[in-house]
């Protein structure tokens, strides 16, 4: 069996809510490792989590820990009894595993104050073991290796490396969001960053068959699947057939306002869906000034039709920063597949960059948008869940939601 020490990081600052946050993290983690739970044992304390895992599942568990929001870092540790001889023996074993050149630093944290040897004295006793059994030199400022000893109530934990995880908050502690998933680079990254702050994310995509292809729709399912390891197990993807509303939008008097009005319709439909599924916020992938429809003026005109807050995690990001995250979470290669979404296909040649609210309302007065939205909510939205690596359509989902 291997022993892994998990650090909560930000969760330790949550004061009275700390236990709720940590309990949610453990709930998420236990579900993630459910297929091999018999190979893992949990030991929880106030500031960290210790896991015992079989050698065969070590790599799989490390991967899952690294990709679970709420975890700061993990270490494979040696655990020994709280006596000096056992501690020395464990330090010697780790020393022999380190490279034989470079510099080191010794850190001791005595969380169990009943342990008779102070942190300073323990450092003085253990440092010579490293010096005598290696060619490492001491450097307390910028060492190549840091050997850490933590004296806890149950045992002593010793390790020389930390594996960074994705930090953030456990998914679910901040409620539920609904994210507009377009198929481009930005919206999956925006969804990921929302998950990082502890929100469960459901997705909504607008399609316009037959103008958008089955391959374009497959992109959406693939992107939501890529995000699934970070999400709660019971997230959903909703797909709205926007074709009839799009036909109405083609009749507005000023073509330059087409994208503005389209986005206002997207938000209205999302607002109504959010009420049904009890989502608290709408998430979009907009970045300030990236395209014509992402000016402050456009954002304000779009915001005014929403009853819910609209959060834009990428609002200050440039394209290179967004692409870097997309590559990290492995959505980039899917997002750049050459299948157009509804916005790119029907964008006017010269979209308005500083729309006026009264002009937008005048455009909407020329079409039957209220009736079309009501029809779309009742008849045009399909719901899907992702279970055991397969997408499943949920029939008659609105009936079950309203019961």
Residue-range definition of the domain harbouring residue 87: 2-167
Top-confidence residue, 398 or 272: 272
Q: Give the per-residue pLDDT at 15.
A: 63
Top-confidence residue, 17 or 162: 162
Sign of torsion, CA 246 249 254 256? negative
The last residue of one of the domains, among 150, 167, 184, is: 167
CATH of the domain at 135: 3.30.2130.30
Q: Give the per-residue pLDDT at 43.
A: 86
Q: Are 341 and 384 within one domain?
A: yes
Encoded tokens for 360 = 């937008």
Q: What is the pLDDT of residues 75-91, one digit of tens each?
A: 999 999 999 999 999 99
The last residue of one of the domains, among 115, 137, 167, is: 167
Angle at 366 (CA atoms; ends 343, 348), nearest 5 degrees: 30
The last residue of one of the domains, among 167, 198, 219, is: 167
What is the mean pLDDT of the segment spanning 248-264? 90
Q: Give the per-residue pLDDT at 250.
A: 86
Q: Are 145 and 119 within one domain?
A: yes
State yes or no: pLDDT of 343 exceeds 60.
no
Q: Are 195 and 81 within one domain?
A: no
Q: pLDDT category, 95, cuts 50, 70, 90?
A: very high
Q: Are 316 and 362 within one domain?
A: yes
Q: Are 100 and 241 within one domain?
A: no
**Contact partners, residue 273, CB within 8 Å, separation at least 6:** 178, 204, 238, 279, 377, 381
Q: Are 180 and 259 within one domain?
A: yes
Q: Give the per-residue pLDDT at 251.
A: 86
The percentage of the chain sitting over the pLDDT mark of 90, rounded to a whole number, equals 72
Q: Are 337 and 395 within one domain?
A: yes
Q: Are 292 and 144 within one domain?
A: no
Q: What is the pLDDT of residues 196-205, one digit of tens each?
A: 999 999 999 9
Distance CA 105, CA 402 (A): 60
Q: Give the per-residue pLDDT at 350.
A: 82
The verdict on pTM exceeding 0.85 is yes
Q: Are 112 and 209 within one domain?
A: no
Q: What is the pLDDT of residues 43-76, one digit of tens each?
A: 887 667 899 999 999 999 999 999 999 999 999 9
Q: Are 191 and 231 within one domain?
A: yes
Q: Give the per-residue pLDDT at 172.
A: 94
CB 22 within 8 A of CB 44: yes
CATH of the domain at 379: 3.40.50.620
State yes or no: pLDDT of 400 exceeds 70.
no
Identify any residues that bridge with 107 across adjacent strands, giving them in sequence order.
Answer: 148
Q: Give the per-residue pLDDT at 14.
A: 61
Q: What is the pLDDT of residues 183-237, one digit of tens each?
A: 899 999 999 999 999 999 999 999 988 777 888 899 999 999 999 999 998 899 9
Q: What is the pLDDT of residues 385-397, one digit of tens each?
A: 999 889 999 988 8
The percent helix, strand, coil of the chain (3-state, each to 5) is: 45, 25, 30
Q: Give the per-residue pLDDT at 402.
A: 56
Q: Are 52 and 147 within one domain?
A: yes
State yes or no: pLDDT of 367 exceeds 70.
yes
Strand 390-394: give its sheet, edge to edge. Answer: 310-311, 281-283, 176-180, 200-207, 236-241, 381-387, 390-394
What is the rounded average pLDDT for all residues in the chain? 90
Q: Give the per-residue pLDDT at 326.
A: 97
Q: pLDDT category, 18, cuts 50, 70, 90?
A: confident
Q: Give the per-residue pLDDT at 126.
A: 95
Q: Are 319 and 352 within one domain?
A: yes
Q: What is the pLDDT of residues 22-33, one digit of tens each?
A: 889 999 999 899
Domain count, the chain: 2
């Amino acid at each position: 069996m291997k022993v892994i020490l998990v650090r909560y990081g930000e969760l330790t600052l949550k004061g009275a809510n700390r236990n709720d946050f940590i309990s949610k993290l453990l709930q998420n983690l236990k579900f993630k490792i459910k297929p091999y739970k018999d190979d893992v044992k949990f030991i929880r304390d106030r500031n960290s989590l210790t896991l015992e895992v079989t050698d065969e599942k070590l790599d799989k568990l490390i991967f899952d820990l690294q990709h679970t929001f709420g975890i700061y870092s993990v270490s494979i540790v040696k655990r020994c009894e709280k006596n000096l001889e056992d501690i020395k023996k464990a330090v010697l074993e780790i020393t022999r595993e380190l490279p034989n050149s470079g510099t080191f630093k010794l850190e001791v944290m005595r969380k169990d104050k009943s342990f008779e040897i102070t942190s300073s004295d323990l450092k003085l006793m253990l440092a010579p073991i490293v010096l005598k059994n290696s060619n490492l030199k001491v450097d307390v400022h910028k060492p190549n290796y840091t050997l850490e000893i933590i004296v806890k109530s149950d045992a002593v934990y010793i390790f020389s490396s930390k594996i960074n995880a994705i930090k953030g908050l456990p998914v679910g502690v901040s409620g539920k969001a609904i994210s507009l998933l377009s198929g481009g680079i930005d919206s999956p990254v925006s969804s990921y960053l929302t998950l990082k702050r502890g929100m469960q994310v459901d997705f909504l995509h607008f399609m316009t068959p037959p103008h958008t292809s089955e391959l374009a729709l497959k992109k959406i399912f693939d992107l939501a699947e890529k995000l699934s390891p970070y999400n709660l197990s019971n997230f959903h993807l909703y797909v709205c057939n926007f074709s009839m509303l799009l036909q109405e939008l083609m009749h507005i008097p000023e073509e330059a306002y087409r994208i503005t009005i389209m986005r206002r319709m997207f938000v209205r439909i999302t607002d109504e869906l959010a009420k049904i599924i009890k989502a608290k916020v709408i998430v979009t992938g907009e970045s300030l000034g990236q395209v014509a429809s992402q000016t402050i003026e456009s954002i304000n005109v779009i915001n005014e039709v929403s009853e819910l807050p609209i959060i834009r995690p990428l609002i200050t990001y440039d394209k290179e920063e967004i692409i870097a995250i997309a590559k990290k979470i492995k959505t980039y290669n899917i997002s750049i597949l050459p299948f157009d979404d509804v916005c790119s296909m029907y964008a006017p040649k010269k979209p308005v960059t500083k729309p006026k609210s009264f002009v937008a309302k005048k455009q909407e007065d020329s079409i039957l948008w209220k009736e079309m939205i009501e029809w779309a909510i009742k008849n045009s939205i399909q719901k899907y869940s992702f279970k055991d690596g397969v997408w499943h359509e949920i029939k008659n989902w609105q009936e079950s939601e309203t019961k």
